[in-house]
Structure 1
């Protein structure tokens, strides 16, 4: 059997070596040493990392489509998305500038892009009573803020970026709390995507393993652990409020019910 695995096509070998390194490729593939625990853990971590990156590239697409289809961002917290996007951007830049393997943070890059689009949609469909500016002015302001933030993250010293990475812990807490609070107040999750929430829970679990195996940075691991806990709360709310009409939640918050709404009566014809 080893005579076959040691003579695989060059492109297969190059792909394997690129993924898990020369030593582990020779041990696991060419020598079929399934007892090599360190290399098995590395291979599992790489596989999970690639899967998470691929999943992260489409994780928020269902949420985006829900907003576009309904032409409404009802139930979504703008504050949550702004802070979550900032946390993703800091984590992506920190990992990139420290030259961590892309498989350990790639989904954060894709999630940052998707979150920026969703944030723009939330701003676009926000009620005029909530934001006083016109839609075009709001989007221009958001675009300028995005460009400034990206420039700062790319140019600040790496030592200062480490402090920003630490700040992602409170930012992660702050990014989830407005959405959790809004769900509790309205007794509904509105346009919040169940697929996105569950995918984030699964992604955080896998990321804790890949970070411990390939990076070992406690700052990164702590961020994923905290994100996991907060996403689990959102997941519980998705289960608890499943199928509930956002309309009913808004009426509960205002102390009203459907039956208490005024009903227009047909006009009486003059005699």
Structure 2
């Protein structure tokens, strides 16, 4: 078997070496040494890292499509997305400036881009927090300019300041999830929050804890992923608790909207515990056709 693995095409061997390194490629692939625990852990970490980066590039796409399809950002917290986007951007800039492997932070770059678009959509579609729809345009312009400025500043900051900002991602992660969690609990609904995005974030944080410990060993980054995992689990629990509530409300609204005015009044009375009984009056008996005794009378004409 080793005769085959040691003579694989060059493009395959070059790809394997670029991913797991020459030492681990030689041990695991060419020599089939499955007892090399260190290289197995490293290769597993690399595989998970690449999978997370690929998954992160599409993680928030279902959320984007859901907002565009419903033309509503109901249930999504604007402060939560602003803080979450800032935390992703800081982590991406910190990892890039410290020359960490792209497989250990790449999804943060893609999530920053996707979250920025979602944040702009939350501003674009009027919500209860946006009382004046006419102010949407200026708000959108300010948000776009702030996003571009933040990206430039993070790219230009010195490493020591970036390290301080990376430590700030811990409270940022906390405060980015709390508004969404509190809004869900207050409304007893998750609105247009995407279940796919929440579940993907939980799985991604679990995998990132492993890859960070294996390849980087940075305690600040590890603590950030651990806190994010805890808060995402809370969001996942809320998704499970409030699942299907929005559909029931939409069906009720649709049914009520299809009723006539009289039927709506009866429905409201029934919901309030009151049922009005209406007795239809009997038609009066014509005087020339009947009498109290039931006998018919006719006037004699000569």
TM-score higher than 0.5 here?
yes
Q: CA deviation at 1:148?
A: 1.4
Q: Which has the higher contact order (CA 8 A, sep 6+)?
A: 1
Q: Does the residue aligned with 2:73 lie in a helix, a strand or coil?
A: coil
Question: 1:194 maps to what in 2?
Answer: 195
- Cα deviation for residue 245 of structure 1 reads 2.1
- C-alpha distance in 1 between matches for 2:197 and 2:8: 39
**Superposed counterparts of 1:23-172, under 5 Å:** 23-127=23-127, 130=130, 132=132, 134-172=135-173
Cα 1:129–1:212 change in 2 (3 A) is: closer
Decide whether the 8 Å contact of 1:90 with 1:168 is kept in 2.
yes
3-state DSSP of counterpart to 1:7: coil
Match of 2:217 in 1: 216
Tell me how large the CA RMSD over aligned residues is: 1.9
- Offset of 1:216 from its aligned partner? 0.5
Alpha-carbon distance in structure 1 between the residues aligned to 2:136 and 2:60: 23
Asked whether the equivalents of residues 74 and 127 of structure 2 are also in contact (C-alpha less than 8 Å), the reply is no
Q: CA deviation at 1:34?
A: 0.3
**Is 1:185 aligned to residue 183 of structure 2?**
no
C-alpha change, 1:180 and 1:59, in structure 2 (3 Å) is: same
Over residues 164-215 of structure 1, what are the superposed CA-to-partner deviations in whole Å (9 max), with x where a residue is unaligned? 0000000000000000000001000000000000000000000000000001
Residue 203 of structure 1 is matched in structure 2 by 204
- Alignment gaps of 5+ in structure 2: 264-302
Q: Larger radius of gyration, structure 1 or 2? A: 2
In the alignment, the residues of structure 1 paired with residue 55 and residue 164 of structure 2 have an alpha-carbon distance, to the nearest angstrom, of 29
Is residue 104–residue 207 contact of structure 1 (8 Å, CA) maintained in 2?
yes
Aligned position for 1:6? 6
Q: Aligned pairs, how many?
A: 255
In the alignment, structure 1 segments of 5+ residues that lack a partner are: 250-257, 267-271
